[in-house]
């Protein structure tokens, strides 16, 4: 039982405590070993506010202790042998349908466009397609505000188009993973519209309604998209919670009838043949009872006030186990959760095979350097990435399987973070691909990553489509900032960088459409496009294709042991080894030459592939190479 009298060192004995302390140290650039120092470790929790200069306040300490007592001990997840499953072997590819391929020339990508490109994905070596939401939606947040779970968005096609696409995916021995948003729905969903008709409606309790405090909302929670997390409805004299946009209303998972309706909807999709789901912000579905005020200071770390009361709620595991039993297990379906803010130990609790909750979870600590956020403009230091990768490779195992992801629809292009030098563009893109296909875990590529797509330019607010960026822009204007300065603040981190149209060829609008797209293309398609890279044997695309083939042909690169090799701070060298083979991977994390830590020539290592065409005695800027040690058995 944790209390304020407990010692700081005991925090590392609880999953959430260990994650929080390591996150705080990571964000501040300090080593967690600081708190294992006998002097510091024996300090009592009640002293944390003064020790952290009120980064941890008394209110947050109370919340922290409550969460610690939900899971007071670290999980030992052990298996006698790694279970081989299709989704561990698979290479996933995320499609943002609106921006992938327009088949009917309305400027918007659609399902038939996706179907037309399945042969391209199969040829690369993709095993599973993950689609961002395609459900009926008013598009306040580009489909993540669902109006009808069982209807296709008109702009994307209809259910007949979906059935054809699914059939064609399966015909190519590929899988389809749907993006499912069940933390919230659109305010235009039938349930919410019925909920607004009166407190006596059964759907009123499907959402989180609460009376205000005088003329103020029920608590001080803020939306991830800025502003209050509450909408006021005069006819009810109540507020309703929205953790995201004003049109994305949070569901009340305490209501078992709501949960049952969600499960029935999931089962109907699984009956159609869908192979699994990516579950959007799934760790937020359970909120702290009573919805207490959040700690204002923490918003600097997590981006919103009140997040600590939903990131790892008291009934999260109960809901996940129930959902799996009532849906996924019946169809042997795959699940990967978006764990916004979830650390390694909490991820174990949610994905360990024996707990029967999720199969995998996304962690996004790697997307930004310590102390940096998505909207910061800076040069990403790959040396800061290395300890994170090592941590997840060495500590997240024995029944837990990592998800390897560096790009998605919610973040700027990772490649643009690392370098803006054109001379390094291809080399760095190939370096990231090398990491994703040689580390232990399932790789998730995002559309355009295979051709090295980069961030675009935004000069006017009319160029943006991202509701989050637009809200931030208006907030900055309200604070007195000029339009030009506000654009400079939001442009580096807008999600629109990842949502510009796919670059298929050197033609009008990059071959995405024959008409102007819903969001402007980047002129970059003139040089970087699929058609051009297919024809270039040294392209990023063909490098990725070769590496996928190497991974498929060598189970060692999937299930083999991960061990660090000769390293210094500027290189990342490791081995993947099993009874059949041993591979040595060496990576230079800097944009300058480095001396090799291992003399691969003298040791007669056989080079398999590299992001440089020729060989050199030094490791060149961002060089990544894969060698085989000895012969394959």
Q: Are 11 and 24 in contact (CB under 8 A)?
A: no
The two tokens of residue 263 are 């499960």
Q: Is there a contact between 176 and 166 (Cβ–Cβ < 8 Å)?
A: yes
The rounded distance, in Å, linking the Cα atoms of 345 and 504 is: 41
| Furthest-apart CA atoms within the chain: distance in Å | 80
In this structure, the dihedral spanned by the alpha carbons of residues 255, 261, 262 and 263, taken in order and rounded to 10 degrees, is 110
Is 338 in the active site? yes
- What letter does residue 590 receive in the DSSP assignment? S
Distance CA 356, CA 49 (A): 37
Residue with tokens 């195992």: 397
What's the start-to-end Cα distance of the chain, in Å? 52
Residues with Cβ within 8 Å of 260's Cβ and at least 6 positions away in sequence, in order, are: none
Q: State how far the alpha carbon of 552 is from the alpha carbons of 125, 144, 406, 578, in Å.
A: 9, 33, 21, 15
| CB within 8 Å of 252: residues ≥ 6 apart | 205, 206, 207, 208, 258
Residue 349, token pair as written in the block: 């609790």
State the catalytic residue, choosing from 140, 141, 275, 338: 338
Q: Are strands 594-595 and 618-619 parallel, antiparallel or unpaired?
A: antiparallel
Whether 591 is a known active-site residue: answer no
Q: With beta carbons less than 8 A apart as the criterion, state whether 163 and 154 touch.
A: no
* Residue 233 backbone phi and psi in degrees, to 5: -120, 105
User: Catalytic: which of 22, 187, 280, 426?
Assistant: 280
> Residue 216 to residues 129, 210, 228, 295: CA-CA distances in angstroms?
45, 11, 10, 17
Instruction: Let me know if 105 is exposed, middle or buried by CB neighbors in 10 A (0-12, 13-18, 19+).
Output: exposed
Tokens linked to 608: 């398999």
Residues annotated as catalytic are 280, 338
């Amino acid at each position: 039982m944790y209390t304020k009298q407990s010692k700081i060192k005991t925090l590392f004995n609880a999953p959430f405590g260990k994650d929080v302390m390591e996150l705080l140290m990571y964000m501040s650039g300090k080593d967690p070993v600081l708190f294992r120092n006998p002097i510091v470790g024996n300090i009592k929790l009640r002293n944390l506010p003064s020790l952290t200069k009120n980064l941890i306040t008394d209110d947050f300490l109370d919340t922290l202790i409550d969460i610690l007592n939900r899971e007071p001990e670290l999980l030992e997840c052990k298996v006698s042998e790694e279970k081989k499953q299709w989704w561990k072997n698979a290479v996933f590819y995320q499609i943002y349908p609106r921006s992938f391929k327009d088949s009917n020339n309305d400027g918007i990508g659609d399902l038939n466009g996706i179907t037309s490109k399945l042969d391209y994905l199969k040829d690369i070596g993709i095993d599973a397609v993950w689609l961002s939401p395609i459900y009926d939606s008013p598009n306040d947040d580009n489909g993540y505000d669902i109006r009808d779970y069982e209807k296709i968005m008109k702009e994307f096609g209809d259910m007949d188009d979906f059935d054809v696409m699914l059939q064609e995916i399966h015909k190519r021995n590929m899988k389809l993973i749907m993006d499912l948003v069940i933390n919230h729905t659109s305010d235009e969903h039938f349930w919410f519209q019925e909920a607004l008709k009166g407190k006596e409606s059964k759907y009123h309790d499907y959402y989180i309604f609460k009376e205000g405090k005088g003329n103020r909302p029920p608590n001080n929670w803020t939306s991830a998209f800025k502003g209050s997390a509450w909408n006021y409805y005069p006819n009810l004299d109540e507020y309703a919670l929205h953790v995201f946009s004003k049109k994305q209303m949070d569901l009340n998972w305490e209501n078992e009838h709501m949960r049952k309706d969600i499960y029935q909807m999931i089962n109907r999709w699984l009956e159609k043949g869908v192979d699994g789901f990516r579950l959007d912000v799934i760790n937020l579905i359970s909120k702290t009872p009573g919805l207490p005020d959040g700690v204002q200071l923490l918003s600097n770390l997590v981006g919103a006030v009140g997040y600590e009361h939903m990131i790892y709620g008291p009934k999260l595991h109960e809901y996940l186990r129930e959902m799996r039993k009532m849906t996924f297990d019946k169809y042997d379906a795959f699940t990967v959760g978006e764990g916004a803010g979830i650390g390694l130990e909490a991820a174990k609790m949610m994905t360990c095979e024996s707990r029967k909750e999720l199969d995998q979870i996304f962690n996004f600590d790697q997307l930004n350097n310590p102390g940096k956020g998505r909207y910061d403009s800076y040069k990403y230091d790959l040396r800061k990435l290395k300890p994170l990768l090592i941590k997840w490779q060495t500590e997240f195992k024995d029944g837990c399987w990592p998800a390897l992801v560096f790009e998605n629809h919610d973040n700027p292009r990772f490649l643009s973070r690392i370098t803006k030098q054109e001379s390094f563009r291809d080399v760095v893109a190939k370096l990231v691909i090398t990491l994703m296909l040689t580390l232990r875990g399932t790789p998730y590529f995002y559309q355009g990553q295979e051709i090295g797509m980069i961030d675009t330019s935004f000069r006017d607010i009319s160029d943006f489509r991202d509701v989050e960026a637009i809200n931030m822009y208006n907030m900055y204007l309200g604070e007195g900032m000029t339009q030009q300065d506000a654009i400079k603040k939001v442009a580096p981190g807008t999600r629109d960088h990842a949502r510009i149209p796919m670059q298929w060829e050197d033609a009008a609008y990059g071959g995405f459409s024959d008409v102007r797209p819903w969001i402007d293309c980047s002129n970059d398609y003139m040089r970087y496009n699929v058609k051009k890279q297919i024809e270039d044997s040294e392209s990023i695309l063909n490098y990725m294709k070769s590496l996928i083939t190497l991974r498929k042909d060598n189970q060692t690169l999937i299930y083999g042991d991960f061990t660090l090799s000769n390293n210094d701070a500027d290189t990342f060298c490791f081995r993947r080894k099993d009874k059949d083979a041993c591979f040595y991977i060496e990576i230079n994390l800097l944009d300058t030459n480095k001396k090799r830590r291992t003399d691969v020539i003298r040791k007669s290592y056989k080079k398999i592939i590299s992001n440089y065409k020729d060989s050199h005695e030094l490791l060149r800027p961002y060089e990544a190479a894969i060698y085989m040690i000895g012969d394959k058995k």
